[in-house]
Structures are given as C-alpha cells and as structure tokens.
Amino acid sequence: MMRSAWVGLLVLVPLVIGAVLPMPAYAVVSACEARNRTQGGPTGADLQAVIDAANAGDVVAVRGRCVGNFVVSQDAILVGEPTASQATPILDADGSGEVLRVDSGVTVSVTNFTITGGDTNDAGSGIDSAGALTLVDTIVRYNRTPALHAAVYNTGTMSMDGASSVRRNRGGGILNEGTLALNDTASVTRNPGNFGIKNFGALTMNDSSSVRRHPFDGGIENWDTLTMNGSSSVRGNDGSLGGISNVRGDVVLNASSWISGNTGGGIGNLFGTVTMNGSSSLRGNRAWQGGGMYNSGTLTMNDASSVTGNVARRTGGGVYLNGGTLILNATAVITGNASGRGGGGVTDKNGSVMMNDSSQIADNTALTNGGGVAIRTFGSMTVSASATVTNNRADFDDDGGGTGGGVYCRKGTLAGAVADGNVNDNFRGQEGSRENNIIRVEC
C-alpha cells in the first residue's frame, strides 16, 4: 500500500513541476556532493570522509567541485557524475599540495574527473600513485611542479583509458617508475615546462594513444622499456633529441605505431636499442642531423617498417649513425628523405649498415654527396643479394657540388652485392640522365 502510494507520488511530482518549470537534464551542482552509491549513504560535502567511511570496492559517486588533498588507502571506485553546471566533476587542490594520492597495494579506478590545482615541489602534484590505478575519461591539467618533476608520478601500475589525458601542466607530464599503459585515445599533450613522459619503468602505448606537442624536452625520455602498439604515436614535439630520446633503454615499435612531425629528430637513440616491427614508421621529422633518427646504439628495422619523408638540414636525412648499427631486414625501407648536405637516406659515420633480405634505400636526395648513403670515418656497409639502393640522387640542387647518387664512400668499407646491380639507377642532379651509383674515395 505504502509502496504504491510512493510510486504514484514520484511519478506525479516531476509531472507537476515539469508543467510549470522547464527541468534541466541534471540537477545544478557546483559545490562538492559525495555519496557512497554502493551503500546508499547520504550525500555529503566532505569527499575524504565518504572515501574513508567506504568499504573496500564501494562506488563513491561525486558531483560538482571538491577541494582538498584526497588520499585513497583502500580499494575504491570513484565515479564523477555529470550535472548541468559541471559535466565533468573536479578534484581541486586549489594551489596547495597533491590532488590525489593512491597508496601502495590499493586498486582504484577514477572515471570522469578533472584533476587540477595541485602544486608541489616534487613529482605528483596532480596524482601520486603507488597503487593499481585506472583512469577512465579523466583529465589531469593545470597542476604545477618544478621543471624536472611531473604532474603525475607513478610508482605502481597505472593505466589511462578512454579519453584520459595529462595536459597543460607546468613542469613535466608523467614521471613513471612503475608500469604505465596508455590505451584507447589517451594522450599526454602540451605540458610546456618539460617532457611529456619520463620513463624509468615499463611504458606501453596502445590503440590510438599519443604523446604530442611538448616544446622543449621532447615527448618521451626513455631509460628503460617503451613499447608502442596499435596506431599509437609520438608527434609534434620539439627537443634536442627529438620526439623520443632513448638513453640506454629499449624501444619497440609494433603494428602501425608512428613517430612524426617532431623537431630535433624522430628518435635520438643514445646507446640503446630501437626495434621497428610491422608497418611502424618514422616519418616527417626534422633535425640538424638524423631527421628520422640519430643513432649511436642499434636500430633494427623488420617487416615493412619505414623511415620516410624526414629532413636533415645537414646530414643523414633518414638516419645518422654516430658509431651505431643499422640493420634492415625483410621489406624495411628508408625512402623519400632529404638532407641539406650529404647522406640523403643515411649518413654512416664510424657505424655499421647491414641491408638484408629485400630491404631498400630508395628515392632519397642529398644536396651534396651520397643521395642514398654517405659513408665516412671508418663506417661500413654490407648489401645482401636481394637488397637494393635505387633512385637516390646526389647534388639535388644541381649546382655541380656532390656525387655518389647511390653510395658515396668517403672512408670506410662497402661490401656485399654492390657489384651485382643492387645499387642501381641512382643519379647525380635532378635530371635523372646521369647515372651515378657508387663513388669510392678511401674505401
């Protein structure tokens, strides 16, 4: 009896009010409203008190803007509920301390929030997590740290899902010492004081995730392991070593992952390893030397991976080897790169180039020597029976300065199938009428 009366009232009240006033889709909330949805508890303005009173795994629903330094020390599910005035609820430290701390051993998910207003003198002004934290459609922005720190500090296991992003924080974006995954369309963008992600742990980028538009120290500084899958990208960053600086770490690019439009080069590899698989690519990057990659470690290109359309103002339009190793396997290609001086595709200074299988260095241009490859200072290059160096052009500005359309070997060794037509149809000048395959000086 009572129940049916209540149901009648619940139906009646909105109809009566709705007839008088247009009702918003959601209640208007700008202050903090927190409620334990699992236990059906009352709504309060003290989010920390609701978190502390929750049982492990309870859903804590939040509306509006909650100010404070929030700490989660047991398993929890935080869900931001949209309102008319606040579609994405805000956790705000209001310019003092960390916004959200997740303790070690705790599993937490955070869905549909903006995390902002953190200000600390070390890493983690926005989020400081030692636990297992999943961010879903959550934005971390406008937090502040000194330049060498970062808005997010992860020493546990963190994943960024959905459209989560870390952006426009002062200082770096993320400092990772644990395990970090970027999934879906998650992004780290425009953290203008510093790098996007500095990685001392295991960093994986999946799906269409991206690290973009960092103006000073590049997108990612990697000291341990970085794996890029799906169509993930690092693009539009500026840095002294380009989009990714890899310092003795291991970088693996799989599937159709891409490194593009970075200034300072696509990847700067200092004594580490970079392995390109699938159809991964370094494309459209620019640098003084090594437009696609500056390499003093090992770059292995497998499958149909490519280095394409990169530009060096000086040498090594695609790849500049400074004592490092470049191995091309399968159908890997270095193509369409350009240099303002020598080595349109590759400059090999005291390094080693091995072209295996059906790999190609093709359609690259240099304004001086070595349209495809320039070898100098004891560099070496070996070309296997079915690999080709073709349609590259030296002296592309046609001023008469520059030769060695395929390979210009200033000092070093050039070996393998080079006398068997594998280095063929390369040119000096733009016209394409003057075949100019291999020039040996002290080789």
Q: Which chain residues interact with Ca ion by CB under 5 A? A: 367, 395, 397, 399, 401-402
Minimum distance of Ca ion from residue 429's CB (angstroms): 8
Residue 117 or 404 having the CB closest to Ca ion: 404
Residue 399 or 442 having the CB closest to Ca ion: 399
- Give burial (CB, 10 Å; 0-12/13-18/19+) of 250: middle
Minimum distance of Ca ion from residue 442's CB (angstroms): 21
Q: Indicate the length of the chain as a whole number.
A: 443
Q: How far apart are CA 321 and CA 397, in angstroms?
A: 24
Minimum distance of Ca ion from residue 345's CB (angstroms): 16
Residue 272 or 317 having the CB closest to Ca ion: 317
- Count of helix runs (H) and strand runs (E) in the chain: 2, 51
Residue 213 or 410 having the CB closest to Ca ion: 410
Radius of gyration, alpha carbons of the chain: 28
Residue 120 or 369 having the CB closest to Ca ion: 369
Minimum distance of Ca ion from residue 350's CB (angstroms): 24
Residue 52 or 399 having the CB closest to Ca ion: 399
Minimum distance of Ca ion from residue 336's CB (angstroms): 19
Minimum distance of Ca ion from residue 432's CB (angstroms): 15
Minimum distance of Ca ion from residue 369's CB (angstroms): 9
Handedness of CA 52, 53, 59, 61 (dihedral sign): negative
Residues 6+ apart with CB under 8 A from 432: 393
Residue 299 or 367 having the CB closest to Ca ion: 367
Q: Are strands 33-36 and 59-63 parallel, antiparallel or unpaired?
A: antiparallel
- Give burial (CB, 10 Å; 0-12/13-18/19+) of 53: middle
Q: Hey, which bits of 229-349 come out as E strands?
A: 233-235, 244-247, 250-253, 258-260, 267-270, 273-276, 281-283, 286-287, 293-295, 298-301, 306-308, 311-312, 319-322, 325-328, 333-335, 338-339, 346-349
Q: How far apart are CA 284 and CA 399, in angstroms?
A: 26
